[in-house]
Each structure stands twice: as C-alpha cells, then as structure tokens.
Chains A and B, each alone.
Chain A
C-alpha cells in the first residue's frame, strides 16, 4: 500500500493539470514586459486565463509544426509579418481571425484573415549628423544603400535576421529578384564591418564613429533615449539622427508585430477576443508608451519620445502587402547569402 501511494505521488508530480478551463494558449515570441502586463489586464477583464510559452520565434514555430493538428497553441504572437506569413505558407494557420472590430481597426494591407498586425514599426536609416550631410541624404531610398558613395560607411545586422529578410523581401516584391540580388552585392560592398550584433548595436556603431549610417527599426532609438538602457546609451542615442527613406515614392518600409491564429486552435473564440483586446485604444497606448512601436489603430499617438525624436510626419509604404514578406522570404535569404552578406 505504501508503495502504491509513493508511486502515485511521483506520478502526480509529472502530471500538469489537464482540466479544461476558460483559457487561451499563446506562443509568444515578444518578450516585452509590457505585453505580460496587458495579458493580466485581459484576464482580469474577461476571466480568460492567458497561458504563455515564451521562446524565440523559430523554436516556437517548430513546436507548433511538430505538434501538428494536436497543437495546443491558439495564438502565435511574434515581431515580424514575415514570420506570420511564413507560417501561413507552411499551412499551419487557419482563417477566422476576423471580426468587425478587427476589420475596423486594422488597414487591409496589414492583415489577412489568418493573422493581424497589432503594432507597427518602420525599418529606417540612422545617420551621424557630424559625418553625413543633408545633401548626401536628400531623396535617399533603400535602393540607395547600394550606392558606392556609402562605401565603408554602412552597418546593418546579419542576413539571418528576420527584419532584414522582410526588408529585402519587400525590395524583391517592388523591384524583382534580379535587381535585389544586385542591390545586396552593393550593400555588402558598402559595409563598414562584417555584420554583427543587434539593431541597437548598429545605432551605437554610428554613435561611436565606426560607421556613418545604420539600418535599424524605429523603436530602438526611442528605447535608448528613454534611459531604460542606461545613461551612456542615452548619450549615444543623441549622437545619431533618424531618416525615413523612400519618401518620394512608395514610402518607408513598414512592418508589424503580428498575432496569428494557429490551425487546430482549441480556444479559437478566446483567441479572437484577445486580439480584439490588443487592438483597443487602451492596449495600443500601452504598446506605444512601453515598447515605442507605432500604434496599429488610428486615434492613438506614438510615445512623445518617438514623436519628438523621429518625427511622425512620414509617408508609410501602404502599397506593398505585408503578406509578401513571408512569400519572398526564402528568395530574400538566397540573394543576401549569394552576395556574401554574413
């Protein structure tokens, strides 16, 4: 008898609760603290428990794929439309992430019926005002990054990075694969050093004088300016300026953090509710003030740090469909790798 009770005790240690509950399972690749605060607010409001598994997007996607139809995931939340698009292309998402509220809140090019943008960011150029003149930058485009005048002056992170894959995917969508391949070669020739480090490291390289221009997402500069990264980085951020490319044609490359509805989601209705909640003005304000992203919906203003230091008055690329980022992702990696982009 004693043996049985010990065995059952051990067994019970392994068993997590299998009770069906009012919940939504989120595979979360965004680890901003702000997000978890929002999830608890959601639980308080609706009584729906948010179960999180945090991880890097690649690993999370893999688990969804391996678990297949039996996956417990409802929503996959990650920081690039390219990732949501790729999951869709592999057939692991399902349609149904639509509702009146979602349609009213999010512009058409920023959603499909399987995934929805929840916050926006732009991938822009940062420059040193000491070493780059206004004339040099005038009319600057992403295409212009390959111009030999930037030789030895440009830093940008690795080709394996999803933000770069999506940027190049958008160039393929607009200019064709052949032109993008030529462009990638030009960019590699202009690099001040082999690609390394994250977006913030690129901005700091410009501040430290290692390079004159850098490509990085918008919220990083605001994050550095906020002082959350320490006084030194705040100082460093003041040494660089932001520039929004392609203002005279299609507009600046935009991307989103997206929420995608996973195939076989056991709590589909709750998933839709959570996405609707993330698109309310209250949640959007929470995003803009904590992660320094641009709001997805109209009527909410970005953080003052973003408005004052980056400017708000820029033309966004609303023409290029974000769904193309996922579609052209493999081709984007191919042209970058072929160009010798580390």
Chain B
C-alpha cells in the first residue's frame, strides 16, 4: 500500500463527501424532545404512508410512459418517430415543481382551462366540470411526467442493443407482437428498467418542490417541517435515517442491476442491426398520438402555460432582473463544475494509481450523495458546521466560522459538491475505463512523472467526457431548489428560488417568468447533450 499524496487527496475528497451522511447517522441516536411526541407518532405514519403511495404510483406511471414510448420509437418507424426520439428527453427541462405550478394554473377554479372554455362556449360556470389536479394526484402527475425520461433513456438504450436475433426468435415461435414484447423484449430489458426506475425512485423520495407545493407530507417534507415547525433537528435526522435506509436499499438494487445491464450491453456477439418496422394506417396514427401525447404533456403543456402567463402578465417580465438571475445561475454552474471536475479528476486518478481496496469502497460510498435529498444534505451540513464551530473552532479560541460556510457561495458550492459528486466521479470513471492502464505504464517508461501523465495524457483523453459532465452538472444546478433555498447568501437569487418563492407567496403568475427561463436554459443544455444522452455517438 502506498501512502502518497494522490492516495491522500483521493481519501480526503471521499471522506469530505461522506461527512453529511455520517452526521445524519450519528444524530439518529440523539434523544428528540418529547414535547410533540404524540403528534410526531401520528405524523410519522402519515409521512411513511404518503411516501410509499407516491413512490408506487410514480413508479407505475413512469414505467408505463417510459417503456411505452421507448418501445415505439425503438422498434417502429412512424411519422415523427425520429423527432420524438430526442424530443421526449426535453421533459428533463421541466422540474416537478414547475410542472406542479402549470397543472394548478391550468385546472384551478377560474384558471386557464376555464378561460379556454369561456372563450369557446361563452359565459357559464365551468369550474365544477373542470377536474382538479391537486394534492396527491397532482404530485403524482407532476413527478411522473418530469421523471419518466430516466426510464425512457435507459430502456431505449437497452432496446437499441437488443439483437435482432431475439426478435426473430419471437417471430419463429409464432408469438404475436404483444406476446413477444412482454415475453422476450421486456424481460431482456429488465436491468435497464430496474436501473431507470431506481433513479426515479430516488428522485421521487427526494422530491421537495412539487410535494411542498401541494402540501403533501412525505418523509422529505416531513424532515424539513419537523426541522422548521418543531425545531427538532434530532427528529428530522431520525426521519432522514429511515429515508436513507430506504434509499440505500434502492441504491444497492440499482448498482446490482447496472452490473447486469453492463453484461447485456457487452454481449454483442452476433449483433444484427435491427430493422425498424414501418407502421402504416391506423397503427401509425396511434403510435404518433401516443408519443405526441407524452411529449405534449411532459414538455409543451408546462412550457405553453408558463409562456401564456408571461404574456398575460407582462409586468412580471419587467420586474424580474433576468440578467442578474442568469449571471447568478451561471456563476454557480461555473464554480460548481470547476470544483467538481477538478476534485473528481484528482480522486479518480488517485484511485487509479494507488489501486487500493479501502479507497475503492470509500469512493463507492461517497458517490451515494446523489441519492440523498438536497433538504437532508443542507440540514446535515448546517448541523455539522454548527457542531464543528461550537466544539472545535470556538474551544480553540478562534472566531466563529459559521458565516464563512452558512449563507455563503462557498457553503452552497460545497453542498452541491456532495450532492453531484457521483455525476462527476462516475462520468470521469467511465471515461478512464477506456484509457488502458498500459498507456500509463508506457508513459512512466518514457520517464513521465505521475503529474505529467495526468496533465498531458489523461486530461486531453478525457476532454469529451468532461464536457458532457459539465453540461449534466449545469442542468442539475439550474433546476436545483432546496439546497439553494436553504444556503444561499444575501441578495442572491436563481431562477429556481425566484419561481419557488413567488409560487409559495400565492404569486403563481410571477413564478411563470423565472420558470419559463429555467425551462429554456435547461432545454438548451439538453439539446447540446442529446447525442450523448441517447448514446448514439461512438462514446
């Protein structure tokens, strides 16, 4: 075992990322105040029930939406099929909370639906006949349409690599199309489906904005509320602990299934390019309508509702300091990507050269930050800083460090770092896997130092992966809400926080403008990377 500086830095980075997770686990054993003991027990049951109900419904919806559309665009040719192939991932640009605003704006009493009916059919009280998509139902729809693309992308990729032989097999057995779909195609894509659904599950459990908007008490909002309403950090941490256990089992499940998925992707022996079936007549119309419905609901609907409101209440456009918000958002994106890329490179390289088991385990654990809700991370961060400040810094006689970390850009970027570390780490790791270790060895033989190998050989090799990662991080940070909300400094807003605050203050119309900008920026990032996301490049 070599304790060199690479090893050390790699170790420190992983350890830093683990701090919030450790904080949550250690506070589990602190006693909670018994003031609200009875109330809390009732709440806990409600939180768990709501979380489970939300989770199961969203999983069913995203499964149907994701695999359905993936199946259509992978196996059939119909009008627009090439367009839908990438247009369906635009739904990523609409975070669940913005979807929730659109849903409410459209269906509420005297909302947009009412206006449309009124202008079509004249004056009447249509309110009672307009369905109301709020509460649990609204949350399920918002989250499902916003997240189904996880399933879509992974399942489509798996369909793409399914050998034509498999499909021929079905035909030879005399299976109907439906039968070969659920007997052969679907089971073969199972690892991808599980991987997609576990991502959806993690995001659903971590979801804050939409669930909070519809005032549903889930474990995640419960953590936030018990921290805020009951002043009970210990209880908040206790709920976090339950949630984390839940998430970790998902995480492990996802990792296992991904391992299997890899196996599938690699077995390309006898790979035969699939012939897409050309649909005609009613069937092609049906396929078109199906995909268009999903595309419309997941992207066009929220986009046009926000656009409509921006036009209807133009004063909000002029009130908003768009340039400031844009600069703030880009500033965060720039700093976070820089830090994430730098440290993930370092840590990956450290892992590579030290090839140490402990380090491998540690870094596997440390990428779990992505599975932890932003609310928990932010709270754990504050808890840790407060503890560290009280017990270590002050007892050594130094000035308080709280202000440096809480309510500062530094603190914000640090927590983003923990949350999105896995994105950067895994991205670079998969890039590294393509650089054979013999390349390093040749470099050493040529007399390159480790640093020189890293700077002159690895970094240029990884350039494409790095670009992709930067865009992914940017997409996440543009949409990120709870961490920014809790930790941002004075006079500092992003599109996400502005939208959220306006919406929570019953100024939904004012939330439309920042939401619109957010969707547009995120769409831009998606379009830039769609080639990578859809795995159609040689990458």
Q: Write the residues of chain A forming the contact surface with B, with a CB cutoff of 8 angstroms.
A: 10, 13-16, 25, 31-33, 51-56, 58-59, 61-63, 65-68, 70, 72, 90, 158, 160, 194, 196-201, 204-205, 207-210, 228-230, 232-233, 235-236, 330, 333-334, 337
Contact = CB atoms under 8 A, between A and B. Distances in A.
B135 to A, nearest CB: 6
B215 A160 contact: yes
Contacts of A67: 402-403, 406-407
B166 interface: no
Given A70-B400, A201-B109, A232-B114, A31 B505 contact: yes
Interface string B320-338: 0000000000010001001
A131 to B, nearest CB: 13
Contacts of A196: 134-135, 215
Contact of B312 (A197, A204, A230): A230
A63 B383 CA distance: 11
Which 10 pairs, one residue from A and one from B, show the smallest C-beta to C-beta distance?
Answer: A208-B127, A58-B228, A204-B109, A232-B110, A208-B109, A51-B490, A14-B410, A70-B400, A31-B505, A198-B506
A270 to B, nearest CB: 15
Contacts of B505: 31-32
A201 B490 contact: no
Given A52-B490, A196-B215, A204-B127, 20 more contacts: A13-B331, A13-B335, A54-B493, A54-B501, A59-B228, A59-B486, A194-B135, A196-B135, A197-B134, A201-B109, A204-B108, A204-B110, A208-B109, A208-B127, A209-B127, A228-B313, A230-B312, A230-B509, A333-B39, A333-B229
B109 to A, nearest CB: 4
A328 to B, nearest CB: 15
A207 B228 CA distance: 34
A53 B407 contact: yes
A228 B231 CA distance: 37
A55 B490 contact: no
Interface string B289-320: 00000000000000000000000110000010
Contacts, number: 124
A323 to B, nearest CB: 19
- The winner among A63, A67, A194, A334 for most chain B CB atoms within 10 A is A67
A233 B403 contact: no
B64 interface: no
A218 B168 CA distance: 70
B403 A70 contact: yes
Given A160-B215, A209-B125, A209-B128, A53 B506 contact: no
Given A10-B338, A209-B127, A58 B229 contact: yes
Interface in B489-507: 489-493, 497, 501-502, 504-507
B509 A53 contact: no
B391 interface: no
B118 interface: yes
A236 B215 contact: no
Interface residues of B, number: 55
A19 to B, nearest CB: 13
A152 B385 CA distance: 50
19 contacts: A16-B408, A16-B409, A51-B491, A53-B492, A54-B497, A54-B501, A59-B486, A66-B382, A66-B386, A67-B402, A194-B135, A196-B135, A197-B108, A204-B109, A230-B313, A232-B115, A232-B118, A333-B229, A337-B39
Interface string B379-413: 00010001000000000000010110011111001
Contacts of B409: 13-14, 16
Contacts of B128: 208-210
A65 B231 contact: yes
A306 to B, nearest CB: 17
Given A56-B504, A334-B39, A62 B109 contact: no
A209 to B, nearest CB: 6
Contacts of B507: 31
Interface string B101-128: 0000000111100110010000001011
A264 to B, nearest CB: 11
B102 to A, nearest CB: 16
Contacts of B313: 228, 230
A197 B402 CA distance: 37
B488 interface: yes
B403 A72 contact: yes
Given A31-B501, A200-B506, A63 B407 contact: yes
Contacts of A25: 490
A198 B128 CA distance: 18
Contacts of A337: 39, 42
Given A54-B493, A58-B229, A233-B110, A14 B413 contact: yes
Contacts of A198: 506
A42 B207 CA distance: 39
A82 B305 CA distance: 36
B485 interface: yes
A207 B125 CA distance: 9
A208 B110 contact: yes
B227 interface: yes
A155 to B, nearest CB: 11
A52 B324 CA distance: 15
A207 B135 CA distance: 21
Contacts of B382: 66
A200 B505 CA distance: 11
Given A209-B125, A230-B312, A55 B407 contact: no
Interface string B129-161: 000001100000000000000000000000000
Nearest to A52: B491
Nearest to B126: A208
- The winner among B125, B490, B510 for most chain A CB atoms within 10 A is B490
Contact of A61 (B228, B319, B402): B228
Contacts of A13: 331, 335, 409
A261 to B, nearest CB: 18
Interface string B348-383: 000000000000000000000000000000000010
A14 B228 contact: no
A124 B409 CA distance: 43
Contacts of B510: 33
Contacts of B111: 232
Contacts of A63: 406-407, 486
A123 B112 CA distance: 28
B506 A199 contact: yes
Contacts of B501: 31, 54-56
A205 B408 contact: no
A236 B111 CA distance: 11
